[in-house]
Each structure stands twice: as C-alpha cells, then as structure tokens.
C-alpha cells in the first residue's frame, strides 16, 4: 500500500477545491479516485485544518487567481445568458 504525505494530500485536495476534477487528478498523479475522494471528504469535514499553511506565497497567489478566474467566467456566462433572454423578450 502506497503512503502519501499529508502535504501531498493537501495539495491534491486544494487542486480539487479550485475546480480540478478528481478523475483528472487521479490520472495525472496515478492515485485511485476513491483515495482522492476519501481525502476530500476528510478535509471537508475537518474544518480546523488549514490548507494554505503548506503553500508558498506564489502557490497561494496562483490558487487565488484561479478561483477568481473561475468566478469571473461564471459571472460572464450569467451575463451572456441574461443578454440572450433580454434580447428575446424585445422581439
């Protein structure tokens, strides 16, 4: 049985938190999806755990930028859909 360090587990779960799929991470890092899902459940339920303590400032900035980018894309999609709906009502 392969053992993973806590730091490694945390980095994988942080990638899940920013939107990477468990199946993609499983393929990329050769980790069973069930293992990643178990880590994800554990760290979600353990609110006292602090993910960002294991990341460098550059990694923290990258994570924050990816989260912001994901949020902005979602807002952009909502605005596009709203514009389409408003355009259809005007006809």
Q: Taking the domains of the chain in order of start, what are their residue ranges?
A: 1-54, 56-91
* Each residue's pLDDT tens digit, 16-73: 988 889 999 999 999 999 999 999 888 877 755 555 556 677 877 887 888 889 889 9
What lies within 8 Å, CB to CB, of 43 at 6+ separation is 9, 10, 13, 49, 51
CA neighbours within 13 Å on the CB side: how many for 43?
22
Whole-structure pTM value: 0.52
């Amino acid at each position: 049985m392969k053992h993973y360090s806590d730091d490694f587990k945390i980095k994988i779960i942080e990638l899940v938190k920013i939107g990477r799929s468990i199946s993609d991470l499983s393929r990329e890092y050769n980790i069973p999806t069930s293992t990643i899902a178990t880590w994800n459940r554990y760290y979600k339920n353990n609110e006292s755990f602090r993910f960002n303590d294991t990341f460098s400032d550059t990694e923290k900035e990258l994570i924050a930028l990816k989260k912001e980018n994901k949020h902005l894309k979602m807002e952009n999609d909502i605005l596009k859909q709203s514009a389409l709906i408003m355009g259809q009502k005007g006809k």
